[in-house]
Structure 1
Amino acid sequence: MPNRRSYYGIDSRDMHPRISQNFTYVSSCVKYMIFLLNFIFWLFGGLLMGIGVYAFMDKLQSTGWVRLETFYDVILNISLVMIIAGALVFIVSCAGCLGALRENTCLLKFYSMCLLLFFLLEMAVAVMGFVFPQNMQSFLEESFTDNIIKQYRDDPDLQNLIDFAQQEFKCCGLSNAGYQDWGKNEYFNCSSPSVEKCGVPYSCCINATDISSGLVNIMCGYSVQQQSVAAASKRIWTSGCIEIVRVWSERNLYAISGVALGIALIQLFVIYLAKTLEGQIDLQKSRWNS
């Protein structure tokens, strides 16, 4: 039997380049870039979840109850949405951090799969919003108008969000009915025994704040539901917020598209980094096993 040395006295192993024992296929740059990015989002997710828990407990103590009977009760509960969103960001980014730091391909696959799922959902919403804006508007009006209007006074966080949106976008109500949407609320309904009957929230008013005193006039929207659109428009904004937001989006389409494209490219880049690190780790494992 001929030994491993050739007839010319040269070891066959010398014919192949030797790899140092300290050599690794895993790039430190890729590894720690993924770790750093996800560490930042991990902190953000924990902060968001903490704020949501604090707001939820504060609301529970102040109101004594939180209604969570339907799907709409959950998604319209701002503090609960913050908890769920924070938990998702916390878990996914934690998987990215540990997967990169410990070079664990299972965690990295879970991480990249979650990012891809988020990306596809965002793309689906973007396509519906930009390609079929009227259909999206109709869906939002039919699905959320009644629930949001009816829960206005039941949830302080939702109330603050609605007031902020109506003041910022200069609108009143949600659907094409505009300010007449508030007739669906038990406090603003014209058959209500409340002093606010046939009225709208102060955030609908064109001039809700008294210039001389600087105080908000919460009575500025009283009884406007009994007035025509022309008469009411002198005191309040009459158009629904969904239509106003749609028009605003169309006017700022290029800016919104640019931001959305930037976010999408960042997500794809991070997914690419995760898949690259997975491949490098598998290559390193195959070297150890050989």
Structure 2
Amino acid sequence: MSNYRHHSGYCGIEVRDMHPRIHNFTYVSSCVKYMIFMLNFIFWLFGGLLLGIGMYAFMDKWHSTGWVRLETFYDVILNISLVMVIAGVVVFVVSFAGCLGALRENTCLLKFYSMCLLLFFLLEMAIAIMGFVFPQNMNSFLEDKFTDKIIHSYRDDPDLQNLIDFAQQEFKCCGLSNAGYQDWSKNEYFNCSSPSVEKCGVPYSCCINATDISSGLVNIMCGYGVQEHSVAAAGKRIWTNGCIETVRLWAERHLYTIAGVALSIALIQLFVIYLAKTLEGQIELQKSRWAA
């Protein structure tokens, strides 16, 4: 009987409250709260790792070359280590806001977190729509804006050079635009008027058989002089198609797989946004309960 509360009812009649308020009840779901925390804790660690690797690579490049050119927007986005640093900072900050917002039940941090996720989602959808609905326009844009910049910077940035070599080997292509292997004439080392021993050549990663099977060594001279040959003659030694078109055709062949992965990522992002907004609503409801 101690759980009953007495108060005055109508006409002064004493009424017993059969449903006393349980003060230790909470509207905030522990499952939602700690699910958001754990997911973001994992991404927080990943962001810190990405930031650390990017900083190490950037400083190593700085010490080895003595300079890092960051004069234009293209210098920034084509600097792989700097892109890793920027991406690491973004992931670190956003996931930290999600971790702390969920753990401390802070609605301001949760709103910031869900808004960032929504912004990322919209940007990804915009890029996906451009890539799938207007592939030719995307090709033209990439060729016009990035071909010259990437080809010119090949020898200046070791990270970018490794990325280009990896892409050319994996996708069996050479150069970027529809000009294919002739794109390398725009590089000062591979230009036919260059005093370099590599003049009129292409990087070894363009070669069909760059690695000698018997010795296992890479023949870095396999692409020398191929710019002087016709497409048919050069095609016996190197891949002649540009990488942008090759990647587009590869994406078309694996369209369903790519679409499935993209859809899965999008659904996961929407689910996490839903969790964040649910937790935010539960916290607001809890605050209004105690304020009443």
Distance 2:172 2:113 in 1: 41
* Structure 1 spans left out of the alignment, 5+ residues: none
* Structure 2 spans left out of the alignment, 5+ residues: 1-6
Distance 1:213 1:260 in 2: 42
Which amino acid is 2:122 matched to? L
Distance 1:69 1:107 in 2: 34
Aligned counterpart, 2:9: 5
Aligned counterpart for 1:253 among listed residues 232, 237, 255: 255
Deviation sequence 1:120-179 (CA, Å, 0-9, x none): 000000000000000001100111000000000000000000000000000000000000
Aligned counterpart for 1:70 among listed residues 69, 72, 75: 72
Distance 1:195 1:278 in 2: 64
Aligned counterpart, 1:164: 166
Deviation sequence 1:182-205 (CA, Å, 0-9, x none): 000000001100010000000000
Number of corresponding residues? 286
Distance 2:154 2:104 in 1: 48
Aligned counterpart for 2:17 among listed residues 14, 17, 20: 14
Answer yes or no: is 1:27 the counterpart of 2:29. yes
Within 5 A, what are the aligned runs for 1:152-231?
A: 152-231=154-233
Distance 1:237 1:42 in 2: 41
TM-score by length of 1: 0.97
Aligned counterpart, 2:284: 282
Distance 1:6 1:187 in 2: 96
Shift of 1:8: 8.6
TM-score by length of 2: 0.96
Distance 1:282 1:216 in 2: 63
Q: Return structure 1 stretches of 4+ with deviation > 4 angstroms.
A: none
Aligned counterpart, 2:40: 38
Distance 1:10 1:182 in 2: 94
Aligned counterpart, 2:56: 54
Distance 2:10 2:118 in 1: 53
Distance 1:19 1:201 in 2: 76
